[in-house]
Amino acid sequence: MLIEGQRSWVGRALTTTALPVLMALGCSGRVSNTSAVDREAGGSANVDDGGRGGTGVAGDTFTTGGVVATDAGRGPVGGGGAGGEVDAAGSGGLAGEGGEAPICESGFALCVGHAECTNLHVGDPQGKTAANCGTCGTTCSLQHASEAACVDRFCSPTCQSGFANCNGKIANAPNDGCETDLSTVQNCGACQYACSQSGATSRSCSVGKCAPKCAPRYANCNASSELATDDGCETYLDRLDHCGSDCSANVACDPTQVCNDGACAAPSGVVVLSVPAKSAGNQTRFSDMFPKLVNLQGATVTLRLYAPGASGELTLYMNDQASGFSKSVIVDLASIAQKWTDVPVTLAGETPMAADPTAIKQVNLVVLPNTSAATVVYVDSIRSNNLTINDTFDSSFGNFAKSSLATVNGATLSWSQSIP
């Protein structure tokens, strides 16, 4: 039986004598699977019988049936048989099977095993799933799904709890049902909702929500919020303006104090970068060189700095093992001249990425004074929120070095227990 919206085809050939008959039957552009070639005048045909001619009546003449035909990509159509004979008594023979293969309208196709064209936008219902969805031969997978429908040429499964069809609308994606487990840190509760490792020693997904294990000095203070993107243990508890041991931290440290393990106090060891008074080209580069290459993909590096009474510029940037340089951050020395300040540096947003963020070798500080006195910059700590860098200087300047090329006479690198 022809189902409107599901099957449709247009006959390949219509004889001149058959057109009036079709018009009399009310043909409106979608033709059933009985070809007009099967009869010439007055003979009836069974629409549901795959093109087999009907029984002749007195005086009707039936032509010989069509030959075996294969419409490209749609499979074979029935073979022809002998035509009915003229019978004066009115009892004619059956016309042969077949006729020409149908030509399907756009969006339809003649799939193997079917005599009518399939609407590839909705496919063919087949139990709890759908066959011939988008293309002939594609049956929607029921992996982790209770049922599946064909919607606009794509399989649309009803997923079991804890699973999702994350590639459902991606062209040429595999037909794999509800392929994604939503209990992983890459897809936690939703497709592509990844759990951040910012400030965390480990991460997990529990009941569809990210559950990071926070590192010392970090906390997940928005754990109950519905976030568009997870941010891990986003709160740094040793902040200068909100120093404390938990999410309720709200103490602002004095300008000459730092927050260390949740308490405000004087720094217990600093790197001292000293550059002579302003003169032509008197910039000097200092570098914190990491013992091994670090991966800072998506991470932020924070430098805690203080330059009492300074004026001029401080340029911060990173480079990889191949001397590819990141985008520079320019700091006005006057902005860090009154108090300790946390200055963030990130590799995010650079196009193209000049430095390889997965193989960073060092962070550089270029001091360019603009005063008649020596400029001194103190460094209390350099840390990254992905925990790959945690440099403090309790007893020495550690892996800091002064460039032998980008330097001026009199520039020095040293360490101090406290600020003089």
Question: Percentage of the chain surpassing pLDDT 70?
Answer: 74
Render pLDDT for 22-38 as a digit per residue (tens, 0 to 9): 233 333 333 334 333 33
- Report helix, strand or coil for 333: helix
The burial class, CB within 10 Å (0-12 / 13-18 / 19+), for 330 is exposed
Mean pLDDT of 155-159: 96
Longest C-alpha distance within the chain, in Å?
Answer: 127
pLDDT at position 172, please? Answer: 83
- Binned at pLDDT 50, 70 and 90, residue 349 comes out as low
Type of residue numbered 308: P
> 183 and 198 in contact (C-beta within 8 Å)?
no
pLDDT at position 100, please? Answer: 66
Length of the chain: 420
Render pLDDT for 286-308 as a digit per residue (tens, 0 to 9): 999 999 999 999 899 999 999 99
Mean pLDDT of 267-273: 96
Mean pLDDT of 316-334: 93
DSSP state of 166: T
Q: Give the pair of three-digit tokens for residue 222.
A: 């928005």
Q: How far apart are the first and last CA of the chain?
A: 96
Render pLDDT for 376-415 as a digit per residue (tens, 0 to 9): 999 999 999 999 999 999 999 999 999 998 898 899 999 9
Instruction: Delineate the domains of the chain, giving CATH numbers in brackets.
Output: 1-119 (no CATH), 120-181 (no CATH), 267-416 (2.60.120)
The burial class, CB within 10 Å (0-12 / 13-18 / 19+), for 248 is exposed
Nearest to 317 by CA among 302, 303, 329, 307: 329
pLDDT at position 350, please? Answer: 57
- Report helix, strand or coil for 336: helix
Highest mean pLDDT range out of 17-21, 111-115, 136-140?
136-140
> Is pLDDT at 68 greater than 70 in this prediction?
no
